Amino acid sequence: MPHRVPIHPYHRPDPVGLCGQRPSSEPEFTRFLVHCGIDSVSVSPDSFAAVKQCVAEAESGG
């Protein structure tokens, strides 16, 4: 449950990443992860473009 795991970029010593199906099947979920401060996600090749767009929008404040 990601909403129960506090992820804050300034209070953790190590990078945090996520490997799993949800960012691939629901690219909008990646926006949530970016807002939580996640450092990396692994996605399937067929969803890369959609996830990349969500990350770019989230990082630009969208």
Q: What angle do CA 16, 54, 46 make, to 5 degrees?
A: 90
| pLDDT tens readout for residues 10-33 | 566 777 787 878 888 887 888 888
Would you state the pLDDT for residue 49? 92
CA atoms within 13 A on the CB side of 53: 7
pLDDT more than 90, % of the chain: 15
pTM equals 0.69
Would you state the pLDDT for residue 30? 87
Residues in the chain: 62
Would you state the pLDDT for residue 56? 92
- 1 pLDDT more than 60: no
Query: Looking at this protein, which amino acid is placed at residue 25?
Result: S
